[in-house]
Amino acid sequence: MINVNHRFVNSDFIKSNVIQELCESPEITVDSFYDDRNNIGYAYCRERLETKSGVCTKARLFADPELSDFANKIGQSLKQRGTICFQVMKCNDGWALTDLNVRSGAGTSLTCSAGFDVLSAAFACRIGEDYLDFLRPIKEREEFFITRQYSDFVMSQKS
C-alpha cells in the first residue's frame, strides 16, 4: 500500500501517471452466470493461452473454487440475473480484479462452444424460463482447450 499525502496527490506526477500494483500471469477471464432470485451461480474460467489483436484465440477452460466463490459474491452484490464476465490476474499471492464487464465478453463464445451455454442460460433466466439445461459445473480436474479460427466468405463478385 502506498502512503500518499495531500501534497503528493496534487502533484504533476499523479496527474500524469497511473500507479497500480504489478500483476502477473495468468490472465483469467471468468464467464459468470448468476441468478439472484434463486441464488444459483456457475463460473467458467478461461485462461488466455494466445491472443491476436487483443482477441483470445486459444484458451483453457476450467473450474476454480476460489474464483467461483468470488463470482458468486460479485453476483450477489450486483443482484446479477444472467451472464457477466470479469478478468483477474495474480497479485500478492492472490487474485486481483483487473476488469469487470456487466455483460458477456467477446470470448464468451469459447465457453459456449465447450457446452456451457451461459448466453442461452442468461436469456432463459431473464424471461423466466428454466435455464439449468444450458449449464453444468465443470468437474474437478476437467478442462477443455478451445481454439478460435476464422473463415472468410465472399458475398458478391463483380464480373
Q: Is the pLDDT reported for residue 2 higher than 80?
A: no
For the chain, domain boundaries? 23-147
Question: If you search the block for the grid coordinates 495468468, which residue do you land on?
Answer: 26
Closest to 46 measured CA to CA, from 55, 37, 35? 55
Q: Is the pLDDT reported for residue 4 higher than 50?
A: no
Percent of the chain with pLDDT over 70: 90
Measured distance CA(102)–CA(26) in Å, rounded: 22
Which letter does DSSP use for residue 63 in this model?
-
Measured distance CA(23)–CA(97) in Å, rounded: 10
Measured distance CA(152)–CA(96) in Å, rounded: 38
Nine-digit cell at 99?
A: 476488469
Q: 23-147: which CATH topology?
A: D-amino Acid Aminotransferase; Chain A, domain 1 (3.30.470)
Question: Does residue 95 contact residue 30 with C-beta atoms inside 8 Å?
Answer: no
Would you put residue 82 in left (φ > 0), alpha (ψ -120 to 50) or beta?
A: left
pLDDT per position as a tens digit, 47-72: 999 988 888 899 999 999 999 999 99
Residue ranges in the chain assigned as alpha helix (H): 6-9, 12-16, 65-78, 108-113, 118-126
Closest to 44 measured CA to CA, from 137, 120, 123, 122? 137
If pLDDT is split at 50, 70 and 90, which confidence band does 151 have? confident
Question: If you search the block for the grid coordinates 466463490, which residue do you land on?
Answer: 69
Entry pTM: 0.82
Measured distance CA(130)–CA(132) in Å, rounded: 6
